[in-house]
Amino acid sequence: MSIRNIEKIWLDGELKSNEDAVVHCATNTLHYGLGVFEGIRSYSDGENSYIFRLDEHVKRLFDSALIMNITIPYTHDEVKRAIEDTIVANNLKEAYIKPMVYLGSESLSLDTREHTVHLMVIAWSAYNYASNGAQGIKMNVSSFTRHHVNIAMTKAKANGNYMNSQLALREAKNAGVDDVFLLDSDGYVSEATGANVFMVSNGVLYTPELANCLNGLTRQTVMQLAKDAGIEVVSKRITRDELYIADEVFITGTAAEILPVCEIDNRTVGKGCVGELTQSFINDYQLMVRAKLPNYTRWNYKLNIL
């Protein structure tokens, strides 16, 4: 389903038709990027549909807003209901869902203290982070640096932060690779354009510490899976050459899910195919998001879709 074919969009409390769900040209967020959003996914087991880690996504939306000094005019439960209503209204059995909080069109001033705050929820049926993902993707190290912690901050999923990702991704695609690793301002690996990073070395799972990257829910999920399987998990500073010589590298995100990386900067990673641990995380994750792993069903929010 293309975005243009979406039937209903939730906008400020109402489910509107695609044509009617519009915002004003002077929408402050459109001009300067101060807004926050989430990327959430629902999955079907063939019978029922479930949103994965809905509460944690909504909590992060509120955390992002707090970081950006925006007060969301809805409660946590109202945002959950808006998300659920949008999926049901579009009858989506599996969906990518994007709630976005933005500032109104009262003025184009940089002083946003008096602006109204709005919420939209868009849901559609597909999100393909990388077309050839299952076999492993190719990545480079980007020429762009990730945001400094005291410039844009990285714990918020803030609209404007993604200009950096868009520039880096365009450069990646033009260079013929699927995605890039952005390094932080000290030169250590932070994250991909829309995903967190993991590597496996000698049976230990490593991921960059949280200082310069988003606290991804898929990152947290994989770390939990690993710990529950008795695998040692270490978050630490990681250099680009550590990635080159790792046994396995993969990236994680709601959109990306778990994507194996088979080549970095023209160097083959490990055996050049999907690593054993990576594959087992992929298998578990695909079962888990469909409520088929009994130990983790607390993360599956069941939807009322016929």
Active-site residue (options: 80, 93, 157, 302):
157
Judge whether 105 and 26 are in contact, CB under 8 Å.
Answer: yes
Q: What is the DSSP string of 131-197?
A: TTGGG-EEEEEEEEEPPPTTTT-SSS-BGGGHHHHHHHHHHHHHTT-SEEEEE-TTS-EEEESSSEE
Q: Which is nearer to ligand PLP, 84 or 191 (CB)?
A: 191
Q: Which is nearer to ligand PLP, 56 or 247 (CB)?
A: 56
Stretch in the footprint of ligand PLP (CB under 6 A) among 5-13, 169-177, 246-254, 275-283: 246-254
Judge whether 210 and 189 are in contact, CB under 8 Å.
Answer: no
Judge whether 67 and 153 are in contact, CB under 8 Å.
Answer: yes
Q: Which is nearer to ligand PLP, 214 or 243 (CB)?
A: 214
157 carries an active-site annotation = yes
Judge whether 279 and 287 are in contact, CB under 8 Å.
Answer: no
Of 195, 225, 258, 289, the residue at the interface with ligand PLP (CB under 6 A) is: 195
- Number of residues engaging ligand PLP in binding (CB under 6 A): 14
Q: Which is nearer to ligand PLP, 28 or 218 (CB)?
A: 218
CB atoms within 10 A of CB 125: 16
Task: Give me the phi and psi of 252, to 5 degrees please.
Answer: -135, 145
Of 35, 104, 208, 216, the residue at the interface with ligand PLP (CB under 6 A) is: 216
User: Residues 164-193 vs ligand PLP: string with x where CB under 6 A?
Assistant: ---------------------------x--
Smallest distance from ligand PLP to CB 196, Å:
5
Using CB under 6 A as the criterion, which residues of the chain lie in contact with ligand PLP when the complex forms?
A: 39, 191, 194-196, 213-214, 216-219, 252-254
Which amino acids are annotated catalytic? 157
